[in-house]
Structure 1
């Protein structure tokens, strides 16, 4: 009896020690911080407009008659457990702030993603229809919101990296100094110093009036086992064109988005990969080498060549990307009120005279009647506009959003002055408000600076750069 009791006491003592040790282990485990997890999701939604809607991008809109390739809203959502951010890139010329505002209301009521943490932008394809059309605006805002909902649903543990590679062969500054004053007449009865899109290979061309940005920046997102989930690229190239009149197309942005997946190992039988190409600061950049005579291309040929090259270059740089399984995320935005440009008395008198002329009268400039209407609308319209400026942060990368067709040198300045290790800018983001030249480019004149093409005060770019750099600084320091 006594021996049995001693054995029982020994077992109790041993069990007590085990429970104590286990309790200590569990207590230490509970004290350890939970490992941070990055999740990402991507999705697309078809935003092809109804046929008959007007295709815009030139001075005379015309009805859409055929869909060559569908237009999409492509979304990438990032969630690090502390902050959620999203990008939505839409195949459209430019989407006004009211359409985006409607989409944000859907997102706010249907998801837990803060609407102010979403960057929405248009690619600037010139073969899409007006976003604010009564028949299209509700569909467009609804589909933008749907792309965000689907991307949120598709979230999974992920890793992220980013990089860039130069491809200067496809970007050219389209504003030129020229020795022929006839090339530089403007619709206001004067003569500019530079000309947009001058005659190709002409002996009067002197030099481009500004720089280019050759960098293709990109963000790559993979599953933890290395399966490509999404890739968002950015290139400062206006658009390419070469579309049959009346046909809807996403231009080279859409071709790139469809091709990049196969080049980086995305498998069509797995969860769909989402490729995305946003427009950088390309307000004065296009795909035409004006120093040489042009060669005629087949329809859609040139945009396919550009998309193939850009995709191939990204795929080359993709191999060198270093991935992280968690990064800080952030979003910051600010509103800026800008004055609207107004015609003075002399300009009003000039256009009154232009409009009073008979139709057969000689014209000083072929677009003088168009600008008479544009200037009058500015005169009759509001005296100021308020725009949204935004910066998103992904680790040591910052992405700025500007709601204008933004001159290249503005993007270069932001890259140079950002406190982050890397940066790029998406133009036509969160709104569509015409061109944004620098004050120095305003002095040179040219299409992009004309009142009616540019709507806001001459020093607007200086104010915008200052605010974006301030937003970058706050995100960088964690304020």
Structure 2
């Protein structure tokens, strides 16, 4: 399959300059005088389908599902940034957002290698891939589910297709980069709901019932900010934008059809508002304890959907479209063409969540019980992560993963590989020296495990137990500290 044609190509242009070209940029914020070299910004964008033509197994549940239909196509959306001083390239960032549940195994490394072979001039270490966390996208790992041998795209075949499609789109975006202006803005939309119910005995449960007498409240915070990064042409027409929402796209997670979830109708509405040329990169903020599912007020919300004549996906898209419009209506008054840009690539070094003898024994009992039925393979492997870690933790206690920090003008963009609980994202935003901080979860190799808070571990339940989490609250705090240090170093220079 070929890269989808763009509705319109980015036209070459040059912003009008007043007086001499600005060579440097200065800002005063929170008492810190900051001066970094600014440079001309080049932007490229592309999108491609990552939906195969044949039936494919879906990832995101404990049971096997094979999709024979496509309700909305899963796509990869690429944004390429380069800062230049004349003919000299100063910095780059290549950001790929995929409608997938996570980025499995070595997918990011394979995309980097494929891009390097097709466009050697691209600095592939500055390329990162995130998932929007739709639970109705193809499986990428062999052996995770029991699948038919015939008539279904196998995971290894899908990954080969995915790598080819994404690497082609990256090269297209790189070759099409053009001068652009950039703005950043902040809107709000109620999309995320904390999904952990707390009960009178102190226990917590993901999607637990809230209509029981024992229900006492929702466990944690919700972040309703919508961070918007928009790239404009000389006529103030948006060419591309990145939209960061602290909510995974899993409203229709239980279906047996390929579906990009709420990002598909959201992109449609944004293109209807701004033009079909627009490329939309979806980022999922820190949202390990969040989802779009309603925990209470279901009847009232359903009534409002009926009155509006909308589906739940369309309602979420309506809210995000309004939030982006709100942000851009103000931010378009502050479009920058000369901005400082710096991209750090570092390694998170986090203490693992050590498995106790009791936890290992309990997990081994579940492995033994579930191994008797092939249909339980997914659940068995989930418990087996605990027994494997118990054996391996004697060899070392560090969990190491790559992360990225990008400074672009007054904003910071930071990544992590987890389903990161929202409290950690709030800490990063609060302690960052950037005017606005974009937190992106589910980035890079072997992403997708939860990282819970102390409060969540106290309540227990799925997403806050060793089966769900190779790293616990101690590692969560280390992640915050290391990320904040990296961000703030770009303001301290």
Q: TM class, shorter-chain normalised? A: 0.7 to 0.9
* Structure 2 counterpart of 1:346: 358
* Structure 1 counterpart of 2:176: 154
* Structure 2 counterpart of 1:442: 457
Q: Closer, same or farther in 2 for the Cα pair 1:379/1:49, shift >3 Å?
A: farther
Where do residues 319-398 of structure 1 align in structure 2 (5 Å cutoff)? 319-321=329-331, 322-341=334-353, 343-353=355-365, 372-379=383-390, 385-398=399-412
1:403 aligned onto 2:417: yes
Quote the Cα distance in structure 2 between the aligned partners of 1:33 and 1:324.
Answer: 12
Q: Closer, same or farther in 2 for the Cα pair 1:123/1:381, shift >3 Å?
A: farther
SS in 1 for 2:265: helix
Cα deviation digits, residues 354-407 of structure 1 (max 9, x gap): 5667999xxxxxx98675444334446676542112111111100110100011
Q: Displacement of 1:50 after TM fit? A: 5.1
**8 Å CA contact retained: 1:435, 1:453:** yes
Name the TM-score, length of structure 1 as normaliser: 0.81
Deviates more, 1:47-56 or 1:141-150: 47-56
SS in 1 for 2:134: coil
Q: Closer, same or farther in 2 for the Cα pair 1:349/1:117, shift >3 Å?
A: closer
**8 Å CA contact retained: 1:332, 1:475:** no
Q: Displacement of 1:53 after TM fit? A: 2.8
Name the TM-score, length of structure 2 as normaliser: 0.79
**8 Å CA contact retained: 1:216, 1:235:** yes
* Structure 2 counterpart of 1:85: 93
* Structure 2 counterpart of 1:17: none
Quote the Cα distance in structure 2 between the aligned partners of 1:53 and 1:368.
Answer: 20
Deviates more, 1:229-238 or 1:329-338: 329-338
Cα deviation digits, residues 85-137 of structure 1 (max 9, x gap): 12211110001251101111222341423222223201000100123421111
* Structure 2 counterpart of 1:166: 188
Where do residues 419-458 of structure 1 align in structure 2 (5 Å cutoff)? 419-431=433-445, 432-458=447-473
**8 Å CA contact retained: 1:125, 1:239:** yes
SS in 2 for 1:88: strand
SS in 2 for 1:219: strand
**8 Å CA contact retained: 2:284, 2:441:** yes
Quote the Cα distance in structure 2 between the aligned partners of 1:336 and 1:41.
Answer: 29
* Structure 1 counterpart of 2:208: 198
Q: Displacement of 1:214 after TM fit? A: 0.8
Q: Displacement of 1:428 after TM fit? A: 0.2
Q: Displacement of 1:215 after TM fit? A: 0.2
Quote the Cα distance in structure 2 between the aligned partners of 1:393 and 1:254.
Answer: 28
Where do residues 128-147 of structure 1 align in structure 2 (5 Å cutoff)? 128-132=137-141, 133-147=155-169
Where do residues 23-172 of structure 1 align in structure 2 (5 Å cutoff)? 36-49=39-52, 51-81=54-84, 82-109=90-117, 110-132=119-141, 133-167=155-189, 169-172=190-193
1:176 aligned onto 2:197: yes
Deviates more, 1:278-287 or 1:134-143: 134-143
SS in 1 for 2:122: coil
Instruction: Choose from 274, 280, 286 the match for 1:275.
Output: 280
**8 Å CA contact retained: 1:258, 1:275:** no
Deviates more, 1:141-150 or 1:426-435: 141-150
Deviates more, 1:415-424 or 1:37-46: 37-46
Q: Displacement of 1:151 after TM fit? A: 0.9
SS in 2 for 1:283: coil
**8 Å CA contact retained: 1:389, 1:464:** no
SS in 2 for 1:83: strand
Cα deviation digits, residues 172-194 of structure 1 (max 9, x gap): 21112212x5xxxxxxxxxx622
* Bigger fraction of residues in helix: 1
SS in 1 for 2:458: helix
Kindly report the root-mean-square deviation, in angstroms, between the aligned alpha carbons of the 2 structures.
2.8
* Structure 1 counterpart of 2:492: 477
Quote the Cα distance in structure 2 between the aligned partners of 1:199 and 1:449.
Answer: 18
Q: Displacement of 1:309 after TM fit? A: 1.5
SS in 2 for 1:48: coil
Can you give the 5+ residue segments of structure 2 that lack an aligned partner in the other structure?
A: 1-19, 24-38, 85-89, 142-154, 373-377
SS in 2 for 1:248: coil
Quote the Cα distance in structure 2 between the aligned partners of 1:463 and 1:358.
Answer: 35
Quote the Cα distance in structure 1 between the aligned partners of 2:425 and 2:345.
Answer: 17
SS in 2 for 1:262: helix
Q: Displacement of 1:438 after TM fit? A: 2.4
Deviates more, 1:289-298 or 1:277-286: 289-298
**8 Å CA contact retained: 2:108, 2:128:** no
Quote the Cα distance in structure 2 between the aligned partners of 1:228 and 1:62.
Answer: 38
Q: Closer, same or farther in 2 for the Cα pair 1:62/1:240, shift >3 Å?
A: closer
Q: Closer, same or farther in 2 for the Cα pair 1:376/1:475, shift >3 Å?
A: same
Quote the Cα distance in structure 2 between the aligned partners of 1:358 and 1:88.
Answer: 37
Instruction: Choose from 261, 274, 281 the match for 1:251.
Output: 261
Cα deviation digits, residues 314-342 of structure 1 (max 9, x gap): 11221111201121111112113445545
Deviates more, 1:40-49 or 1:409-418: 40-49
**8 Å CA contact retained: 1:340, 1:378:** no
Quote the Cα distance in structure 2 between the aligned partners of 1:316 and 1:61.
Answer: 41
Deviates more, 1:344-353 or 1:72-81: 344-353
SS in 1 for 2:338: coil
Deviates more, 1:196-205 or 1:327-336: 196-205
* Structure 1 counterpart of 2:483: 468
* Structure 2 counterpart of 1:23: none
**8 Å CA contact retained: 2:198, 2:459:** no
**8 Å CA contact retained: 1:371, 1:452:** yes
Quote the Cα distance in structure 1 between the aligned partners of 2:382 and 2:329.
Answer: 49
* Structure 1 counterpart of 2:144: none
* Structure 1 counterpart of 2:294: 289
